[in-house]
Amino acid sequence: MTSMQNTGRSQVSKPEIDYSLYLVSGRELLPEGITYLESLEQAIQGGVTVVQVREKNADTGEFLKIAQETQELCNKYNVPLIINDRIDIALAIRATGVHLGQTDMPVSVARSLLPAETIIGISCNNPEQVEKALNEGADYVGLGAVYGTATKDVTGKITGPRNVGAMLEKLDGSNVKAVVIGGIKSSNVLRTLHGSVSTTGHVLDGVAVVSDIAASKTPKDAAHNLSSIVKAFKHVSLPSSLATPFSTQVSSPLVEHAAALLYIVRKHGPLIHQITNTVVTNQSANATLALGASPIMATSPHEMEDLQKATGALLINFGTIADKEGMLQAGKFANLNKKPVVFDPVGVGATAYRRAAAKELMNFWQASIIKGNAAEIGTLADSVEVQAKGVDSGGSFENPPEVIRQLAQKERCIIVLSGVTDYISNGSDVVALHNGHPLLGQITGSGCMLGTVVATFAAAERLRSLEKEGTGSNEEGRLVSGDMLLAAVGGVLALTVASEIAAARKDVKGSGTFLPALIDELGRLTPEVIIDRAKVELFH
Ligand SMILES: Nc1ncnc2c1ncn2[C@@H]1O[C@H](COP(=O)(O)OP(=O)(O)OP(=O)(O)O)[C@@H](O)[C@H]1O
Ligand SMILES: Cc1ncsc1CCO
Q: How does pLDDT run across 178-191, given as a tens digit for each residue?
A: 999 999 999 999 99
Residue 115 pLDDT exceeds 80: yes
**How many whole angstroms separate alpha carbon 300 and alpha carbon 285?**
17
CB-neighbour burial class of residue 355 (10 A; exposed 0-12, middle 13-18, buried 19+): middle
Report the pocket of ligand 2 as residue ranges, CB < 6 Å.
Answer: 277, 279-280, 319-320, 346, 391, 444-445, 447-448
For residue 444, which atom of ligand 2 is closest to its CA?
8
pLDDT-above-70 percentage for the chain:
91
Report pLDDT for 468: 82
> What is the ipTM, given to two decimal places?
0.96
**Residue of 444, 448, 449, 511 to test ligand 2 pocket, by largest number of atoms within 8 Å of CB:** 444
Q: What is the mean pLDDT of residues 232-244?
A: 53
Report pLDDT for 471: 55
**How many whole angstroms separate alpha carbon 393 and alpha carbon 102?**
43
- More confident call, 114 vs 234: 114
Q: What is the mean pLDDT of residues 294-310?
A: 97
Average pLDDT score over the chain: 92
401 neighbors 390 (Cβ within 8 angstroms) = no
Q: Which domains can be identified in the chain, with CATH numbers?
A: 4-234 (3.20.20.70), 253-539 (3.40.1190.20)
What DSSP element (H or E) covers 15? strand 13-15
For residue 444, which atom of ligand 1 is closest to its CA?
26
Identify the DSSP state of 90. Answer: H
Report pLDDT for 394: 66
81 neighbors 71 (Cβ within 8 angstroms) = yes
Check the CA dihedral 88-91-92-97 and report its sign: positive
Residue 8 pLDDT exceeds 80: no
| CA nearest ligand 1 atom 26, residue | 445
**Residue of 276, 317, 377, 440 to test ligand 1 pocket, by largest number of atoms within 8 Å of CB:** 440
| CA nearest ligand 1 atom 14, residue | 447
pLDDT-above-90 percentage for the chain:
85
Helices and strands (H and E) in the chain: how many: 21, 21
Crossing angle for the helix pair 36-46 and 60-77, to the nearest 10 degrees: 30
414 CA → ligand 1 middle, Å:
18
Q: What is the mean pLDDT of residues 482-509?
A: 97
Closest to 157 measured CA to CA, from 96, 102, 90, 97: 102
pTM score: 0.92
For residue 390, which atom of ligand 2 is closest to its CA?
3
Work out the number of other CB atoms within 10 angstroms of the CB of residue 306: 11
Strands 392-394 and 387-389: antiparallel
277 CA → ligand 2 middle, Å:
7
Catalytic residue among 74, 124, 413, 448: 448
Residue 224 pLDDT exceeds 60: yes
**According to the 3-state scheme, what is the secondary structure of 313-327?**
EEEEECCCCCCHHHH
380 neighbors 358 (Cβ within 8 angstroms) = yes
For residue 421, which atom of ligand 1 is closest to its CA?
31
Residue 75 pLDDT exceeds 50: yes
**Residue of 446, 448, 511, 530 to test ligand 1 pocket, by largest number of atoms within 8 Å of CB:** 446
486 CA → ligand 2 middle, Å:
27
Identify the DSSP state of 25. Answer: P
Residue 4 pLDDT exceeds 90: no
Give the closest ligand to the alpha carbon of residue 280: 2
**Residue of 317, 320, 343, 371 to test ligand 2 pocket, by largest number of atoms within 8 Å of CB:** 320
445 CA → ligand 2 middle, Å:
6
- Omega before 219 cis (within 30°)? no
Report pLDDT for 476: 80
Report pLDDT for 454: 98
For residue 419, which atom of ligand 1 is closest to its CA?
17
Phi and psi, residue 402, nearest 5°: -70, -40
- More confident call, 252 vs 36: 36
Model confidence band, residue 242 (pLDDT cutoffs 50, 70, 90): very low
Report the pocket of ligand 1 as residue ranges, CB < 6 Å.
Answer: 373, 391-393, 418-420, 422, 436-438, 440-441, 444-448, 450, 492, 495-496
Catalytic residue flag (residue 413) = no
Give the closest ligand to the alpha carbon of residue 444: 1
405 CA → ligand 1 middle, Å:
20
